[in-house]
Amino acid sequence: MNRILALLREPGVQRGVRAAVAAGLAWQVAMLLPPMLSDYAYYAPLGAVIAVLPTIADSASAAWRSVLAILTGFALSVVVYELTQAVPNALTVAAIVALAVLVEQLKLWREQASWVSFAAVLMLTVGLDDPDTYVLRYAGLTMLGAAIGVLVTTILFPPLQLTRAVEQIGLTRGLLSRHLTDIAATLRDGRVPDPDEWTDRNRRLDRALDRMRVAATRVERARRANPRARRWQGRASEIREEARAVDRVAVLVDDLTSLVVEFHPHRRGIDQVDGGTGWVLADTLDSLAGVVCTPYHTTDGSTPDERDEQIARAVAALRRLVSLLRESTVEDDEGFFALGAVAVGVRRSLAALQAEEPRVPVPA
């Protein structure tokens, strides 16, 4: 039972259930209409499926834009056909398609733009014998189905997209953490990071960030006109803030990784404290990785938990890095300044993650 409930919380499964229910209802309602319409009842489920999207706002937008695009395509086809009866059919078809594609460039249609040319060719193919009746059947039943699709999306566990956003934030955190851990391991091994390898890693991180941003934006869109929005307002706000924090940290991590890869501050003659610059730098990045992948506290604050321990470790590592910088006498060295920039980046990352100090003292 728990597995079924967990499955029903998946956005894809929820959308599938809504689409199936909406299509079935649309068909049943269309069959109750007069024969002139019920004989073409299959157009109604089409409209229902069009309108079942991840959010209520997207569903309503897709519904009216699709129907308007269909009507525009029908009107365009009829007008061009009447004006070009004296020319070969091939030229008529070419003119209709060219104009339809041109009209599709309007920003009004968004993702529903292709319905203009589809409807124009459809009217030219099967609807010109009785265009008024065909418009009523196709556009009317599609509109009916779209309205049912929006209604079902609103009533049947209206999506807030929280699950997908949490998943994407978690995946991005994991990638960020591995990013930092791997470069720390490279430094401990005394190797010079390969620029090509880290450029490729940065691209993968960028793709993960894009997916996380899209998911967080969907949460915001899902709150519009959603009856569940007030109940989950606090959680949705937490997700938005967490996504922004991870985004800021990712930018900082990208910068500090680039500094290490480009300037090799651990190889620039400032190993003047025990353990060496490379090890101090590696500990700092590794401890930041621990904070990144431990986002939540598990106790009420009276006793330290794993997050408190990770924060304490990161703060201590950052202090060692700052101490190294203070005791160094190297002047005008790019590596020295790069190391200082890394220290600033780590401090800002901890601040973005609200992890500058543990809540309670952690036993040494």
C-alpha to C-alpha distance for 108 and 67, rounded to whole angstroms: 12
Asked if 287 and 166 sit in the same domain, the reply is yes
Asked if 166 and 138 sit in the same domain, the reply is no
pLDDT at 44: 94
DSSP H or E stretch at residue 192: none
- Residue-wise pLDDT tens digits, 317-351: 899 888 877 877 665 455 677 778 888 989 999 99
3-state secondary structure of 234: helix
Instruction: Say if CB 293 and CB 174 are below 8 A apart.
Output: yes
pLDDT at 269: 47
Query: Quick check: is 358 in a domain?
Result: no
What CATH number did the domain enclosing 226 receive?
1.20.120
Asked if 55 and 199 sit in the same domain, the reply is no
Query: Quick check: is 357 in a domain?
Result: no
Asked if 36 and 131 sit in the same domain, the reply is yes
Asked if 14 and 83 sit in the same domain, the reply is yes
The last residue of a domain, from among 96, 126, 155: 155
Query: Quick check: is 363 in a domain?
Result: no
pLDDT at 74: 93
Query: Quick check: is 360 in a domain?
Result: no
3-state secondary structure of 362: coil
Asked if 334 and 225 sit in the same domain, the reply is yes
Query: Quick check: is 247 in a domain?
Result: yes
Instruction: Say if CB 204 and CB 175 are below 8 A apart.
Output: yes
Query: Quick check: is 364 in a domain?
Result: no
pLDDT tens track, the chain, 364 positions: 667 766 766 767 878 888 999 999 999 999 999 998 999 999 999 999 999 887 777 888 889 999 999 999 999 999 998 888 878 788 989 999 999 999 999 999 988 999 999 999 999 888 888 888 889 899 999 999 999 999 888 887 665 567 778 888 889 999 999 988 988 888 787 776 677 777 777 888 888 888 888 888 777 766 665 655 566 566 777 888 888 888 898 888 888 888 777 766 665 544 443 446 778 888 889 999 999 998 888 887 777 888 888 988 999 989 988 887 787 766 545 567 777 888 898 999 999 988 877 666 666 5
Asked if 207 and 134 sit in the same domain, the reply is no
Query: If you search the block for the tokens 């090799």, which residue do you land on?
Result: 264
Asked if 175 and 302 sit in the same domain, the reply is yes
Q: How far is CA 253 from the centre of its chain?
A: 20
pLDDT at 290: 92
* Range(s) of the domain holding residue 337: 162-352
How many domains does the chain contain in total?
Answer: 2
The last residue of a domain, from among 155, 173, 192: 155
pLDDT at 271: 47
Dump the DSSP string for 297-350.
Answer: --S-SSS--HHHHHHHHHHHHHHHHHHHHHH----S-HHHHHHHHHHHHHHHHH
Asked if 342 and 288 sit in the same domain, the reply is yes
- Residue-wise pLDDT tens digits, 127-163: 888 888 889 899 999 999 999 999 888 887 665 567 7
The last residue of a domain, from among 117, 136, 155: 155
Query: Quick check: is 323 in a domain?
Result: yes
pTM: 0.63
pLDDT at 272: 42
User: What proportions of the chain, in percent to the nearest 5, are helix, strand and coil?
Assistant: 75, 0, 25
Query: Quick check: is 359 in a domain?
Result: no
Asked if 140 and 231 sit in the same domain, the reply is no
CA neighbours within 13 Å on the CB side: how many for 26? 32
Asked if 145 and 187 sit in the same domain, the reply is no
Query: If you search the block for the tokens 């969907």, which residue do you land on?
Result: 218
Asked if 210 and 322 sit in the same domain, the reply is yes
